[in-house]
Amino acid sequence: MEKGMISVDRWSESSQVYFLTHLHADHTKGLSSNWNRGPIFCSPITAKLFPVKFPGLRLSLIRVLEIGSLYSLPLVSPSTGSQTIIQVTAIDAHHCPGAVMYLFRGEFGCMLFTGDFRWEGTTERALIGKSMLLNALGGEKVDFLYLDNTYCNPSYSFPPREVVAQQVVKIIASHPEHDVIIAINTLGKEDLLLHISRTLNTKIWVWPERLQIMHLLGFHDIFTTKTSLTRVRAVPFYSFSINTLEELNSIRPTIGIMPSGLPWVVRPLDENDPSLGSSLSTHQHISNCNTNRKDQVNRNQQIEELSSVRKFHQYIYTVPYSDHSCFDELQDFIKLVQPLNMRGIVSSSSCYIDPLYYFRDLHGQNESAKQSSNKFQQRKINGNVEKLETKSSNVCHTIHMPVKSERTRKAKAGYLGVHMSKVSILRRRSRGVKIVEIDGVD
Ligand SMILES: [Zn+2]
């Protein structure tokens, strides 16, 4: 992509402003504590967590966007070189703490970047998020949707996280004499741990960096780094393996719980390769890249299979607790926003699941991006700092931007003038590598 105005979760190329959806490592690749390319827009919680993830980063570069509020930014149009104003609203993505999606409006039209998101639609929080999104849209269609296509395949269907959290509690309660380890990321799955703690009235062990994050998130009494205080421990994904469980069981009876939307299987033991016998790998997801519509015939059977708790190893349970939307939720989301066009943000060198393959019939057909852009132009007010009136919000905050360099002014627009990350995710570069990633397993 050519240089443009805005980058979302993309840090390798020059832009006038940068937006971060959330702090998982696969969305911050290229961002470092030495960052000095420009302001970083993010949610309040993400801003709070920044010093832990990027110690030493200049906090003056952080711009906090309140969830649901409308902001206007004066930028320089890459196509004309003159000033243009974009609007942006951050909306709760229900993924991990601080995660947001961004709705942009400007000369490029109306664009929605979901980042990683879960669209359950059943919880009160989800209903608030839906209402916020509809309010921000103000009845308009989305011209271009950048979609979290992690589970964009009909074979992926899992229950709401509340339901799975109850399943996890049942597993732990049915092993009263066992220690329990639960694999988690450096951010995310907090609601699951809180549910376990409250229901079973127990503290939960976490590693020191994770405890620091928990304290920043406001959880002061539930988590501990003292192993003597609890039999339930949340451990990093990279330390969760069959070998670990077997070693732990030589000392004390221990079970492991793997919460993930991905179905995990045990690789067959190869006597000639002892390392294979103790690894978990993903099953089915990537291999379904070439799935054709005939496979949907078996969907119900697959849903039933994938929705339940599974025990793949003597000591390991897997539960479909996912912070990404499953296929049906993606479908509901697309029906709601009716994008004129869309593409997935998750890809790898070996696979890209195009949302249009499954949702071609659902995206909107009623108005063009040009029409939408014209509507924006009609209601735009000239000047850098004036309040914008739109249907989508009663409140508008204006952000003052530094003077752009001549180099930036001459920069040509990329696609729609916006750099959007392909999120070239390490975890998906080959099948089954998620287990060894510290971050990005969610
Ligand atoms: Zn994520």
- Given a contact cutoff of 8 angstroms between Cβ atoms, the answer to whether 7 and 13 are in contact is yes
> Between the CA atoms of 132, 136, 140 and 141, what dihedral angle is there, to the nearest 10 degrees?
-70
pLDDT category, 367, cuts 50, 70, 90?
very low
Query: What is the domain count for the chain?
Result: 2
- Do 333 and 234 lie in one domain? The reply is no
pLDDT at 398: 58
Measuring CA to CA, which residue among 101, 121, 106, 161 is closest to residue 345?
A: 101
Cα of 21 from ligand 1 centre, angstroms: 9
For 429, residues 6+ apart whose C-beta sits below 8 A from its C-beta are: 348, 349, 350
Nearest Cα to Cα of residue 58 among 72, 47, 69, 73? 47
CATH of the domain at 50: 3.60.15.10
Cα–Cα dist 10/22, whole Å: 12
Lowest mean per-residue pLDDT among 124-133, 180-189, 205-214, 387-396: 387-396
How many whole angstroms from its chain centre is CA 251?
37
Cα 83 to ligand 1 centroid, rounded to whole Å: 34
Ion ligand 1 — residues with CB under 5 Å?
24, 116, 442
Same domain, 115 and 166: no
Q: Out of 103-112, 142-151, 393-402, pick the least confident.
A: 393-402
In a domain, 343, yes or no: yes
- pLDDT band at 314; cut points 50, 70, 90: confident
Q: Same domain, yes or no, for 134 and 253?
A: no
Domain assignment present for 409: no
User: CA 179 to CA 227: how far, in whole Å?
Assistant: 10
CA of 226 to the centre of ligand 1 (A): 28
Order of strands, sheet of 17-19, starting from the edge strand that comes earlier in the sequence: 62-64, 40-42, 17-19, 6-8, 418-420
CA of 336 to the centre of ligand 1 (A): 22
- Report whether 88 contacts 76 (CB < 8 A): no
**Distances in whole angstroms, Cα of residue 147 to Cα of each of 115, 283, 333, 363:** 7, 23, 10, 12
Q: How far does CA 410 lie from the centroid of its chain? A: 33
**E strands in 57-186:** 62-64, 70-76, 83-92, 100-106, 109-113, 144-147, 179-184
Structural domain containing residue 121 = 6-154+325-362
